[in-house]
Chains A and B, each alone.
Chain A
C-alpha cells in the first residue's frame, strides 16, 4: 500500500493529465476512510463521497457474488449531467475515486490518465 506522500505524487500526475479535474482520493475499501486526498474544489466533500462510494463497491461485490460470477470488479463509472465520477480498484483492499468536469473532460481521458498512473499506488 502506498504512503500518503506516494499517493499524492501519483495524484499530481493524474491531475496534470485531466482537464477539468475536481478531486481524487485513495480509499480503504473496508472502512471507507480516505488514505490520501487531493482536491481542486474545497466545497467537494471528498471524505463523505469516498465513504459512500465504498458502500457502492461492497454492494456491487454482493451482486457479483449472487450471480456466481468469477469475474473481478475493475472499475465503476458514473456519468452525471455535468461531472464524470470514476472508481478504480487498487489491489483488493482499496480504490481510487476521481471526479472531473464533463464540459472539459471525457470518459476516455479520465480512464486513460487513471490507468496510466495507478500502478504507483499498488
Chain B
C-alpha cells in the first residue's frame, strides 16, 4: 500500500490493527486516536462490534524529508467477517496484532495469527508484525515469552499494553511506524515504491471500495498489489523451490537440515528475483536465497560446490543462526517434465544451491522494542546491555575471520546470552582470513549503528533524557562500565 503522493509530496503508509475478537483492537484505536488528537471513523457497528473497520488518519513525522500520512485501520475480529479482514490485511505496510494476554485466549490468538501469517507470506515485500499483548493488568496474563512461544514465531516484536487505560498503545504505534518505514525503504531500494495519488484518503472512501469488492466490481482494494503491481520480476525461469523430497545427501547439515527443509517449505514460498539476480523467498519463519551463479548443469559440480560451502558453514556453525544448505533440482521450462530429464531426451537436469535461514530477532529489533516501551530505568540498563552485546559480537563473531562484518541488524542474542549471525552467508564462501588482531573501535561502531536508531526512535517518543541518563549512569556504575556509559550518554545527548 505504501506510496508517495506526488500531489502533496507525502508518504502514505497503512497500519492495520488485527487480532481475534474481543482482544482490544477498537479500544486500542480509540485510545490511540485520543493520544494523537485525531478523529475516529467507524464504518458500521452493531452492539459496539466492528463490522467493516475503524479508521484513523494521522499526519505526523517525516521520512527523508517527506511528511508521513498514516492510514490506521482496525479490522473486524469476528470469524464470519474473515474475508473483510483479509482484504484489509492485504493492504498493510505493518500489522499491529492485538492479543488478549490471558491463557484462556491462547487458542483464539493462534487461530487469528495463522490467518495473518498466510496473508503475510504473500505480501511482497513482507510486512512486519508487532504483537501488542493487551490486558496486561489482568491477574492471569501470561508472560511475553509464553505468548511468543504460543504464537510460534520468535522473530515477532512484542509490546505490552492496557488499552482500556491507553497504556502502551502509543508506544506500539511508534514501533509499528518504524517497521512500516523499513518496508518503505525496501520498496525504495527495489524501485517499486509507487508515486501515485492514493485512491483512498478517508474512511468513507475505504468503505465504498470494500463494498465494491464485495459486490464483485473489483478484485482488490485500489492501490493494492493487484492494482499497482509493476514489479513482477518472476518470469518463466523461476527456479523450483526445494522441498522435502530433496535426497538426503544433498542437504547440510545432514540430519537437522532435512527437518529445516521440511519446516521451511511446508507453506511453499513465493520466489522473487532481486536486483543482483539472486532468487529470494520468504516462508513461515524462514528465508531462502539462491545466488544467481549457484546453478549447475552437472550434479557432481553442484555437489562439489555444496560440500565446499558446507565446509565453510561447519567451520562457522557456532556463529550462525539456524540454517541449512540444499542442492535442489531446478525446473526448466524447456523440459517436458518440468524437472529436466536428460535420459528421456528432455533438457538435462539443472541444479541450484539454496540457503535456508530461520528468521530470528536482531539486536536492532531488541533496541527498537526497548526504546518504544521501556520506562527510563529499564531503558538506561537496556541500552547498556545492547551496547555491550554489540561490542561482544564484534569480538566473538568476527574472531577467526569467518565473518567480515557484523552490525546490530544481523546479531541475535539467545536467552542464554549466546550470539549468532542472522544474515545469509556469503556465496561463494569466502575462506576465513587471518585472525585480525585489530582493536575494536567501540565509539565508531556505536555511533554508526546505535545513534541512527536512537535518533529515529527518540524523535517519535520524546523522553525525559535526564531520567534515562541517570538510569544509564547507575547501570554503568553497577556493571563497572563507566566508559561505555559515557559513550552512550553522548549518543543520547546528540540524538
Question: How many angstroms from the CA of A33 to the CA of B313 in the assembled complex?
Answer: 12
Shortest beta-carbon distance, B311 to chain A, in Å?
Answer: 5
Interface: A92 (CB within 8 A):
no
A46 touches B310 (CB 8 A): no
| Cα distance, A31 to B307, chains bound together (Å) | 7
Contacts of A36 in B (CB 8 A): 249
Chain A neighbourhood of B303, CB < 8 A: 4, 35
Q: Is A15 an interface residue (CB 8 A)?
A: no
B216 to chain A, nearest CB (A): 52
Whether B311 and A4, one on each chain, are in contact in the complex, defined by CB atoms closer than 8 angstroms, is no
Interfacial residues of chain B within 250-264, with CB under 8 A of chain A in the complex = 251-255, 258
| Contacts A4-B299, A47-B254, A48-B255; A34 near B307 (Cβ below 8 A) | no
A51 near B311 (CB under 8 angstroms)? no
Chain B residues, Cβ within 8 Å of A50: 254
Docked complex: A26-45 residues within 8 A CB-CB of B: 28, 30-37
- Asked if A3 is an interface residue, CB under 8 A from chain B, the answer is yes
Q: Which residues of B contact A28 (CB under 8 A)?
A: 307, 310-311
> Is A33 within 8 A of B300, CB to CB?
no
Contact with A along B285-327 (1 / 0, CB 8 A): 0000000000000011001001100110110000000000000
CB-CB under 8 A for A51 and B253, given A4-B299, A33-B310:
yes
Enumerate chain A residues within 8 angstroms of B248, measured Cβ to Cβ: 34, 37, 46-48
Cα-based distance from A31 to B306 in the complex (angstroms): 10
Given contacts A46-B248, A47-B249, contact A30 B314 (CB under 8 A): yes
In the bound assembly, the distance between CA atoms of A51 and B306 in angstroms comes to 15
* Closest partner residue, chain B, to A4 (CB atom): B300
B249/A35 in contact, CB under 8 A: yes
Chain B residues 125-172 with CB under 8 Å of chain A are none
Tally of contact residues, B, Cβ under 8 A: 17
A4 neighbours in B (Cβ, 8 Å): 299-300, 303
**Complex interface bits, A51-65 against B, C-beta within 8 A gives 1, otherwise 0:** 110000000000000
* Residue of B249, B306, B311, B314 touching A37 (CB-CB under 8 A): B249
Given contacts A3-B300, A4-B300, A47-B249, contact A33 B307 (CB under 8 A): yes
Q: Given known contacts A30-B311, A33-B249, is B254 in contact with A48 (CB within 8 Å)?
A: yes
A3-B300, A31-B253, A36-B249 known; 18 other A-B pairs, CB under 8 Å? Answer: A4-B303, A28-B307, A30-B310, A30-B311, A31-B252, A31-B311, A32-B252, A32-B253, A32-B254, A34-B254, A35-B303, A37-B249, A47-B249, A47-B251, A47-B258, A48-B248, A51-B253, A51-B255
Residues of B within 8 A of A (CB): 248-249, 251-255, 258, 299-300, 303, 306-307, 310-311, 313-314
17 A–B contacts from the bound complex (CB under 8 Å): A4-B300, A28-B310, A28-B311, A30-B311, A31-B254, A31-B311, A31-B313, A32-B252, A32-B253, A32-B314, A33-B254, A35-B307, A47-B249, A47-B251, A48-B248, A48-B254, A51-B254
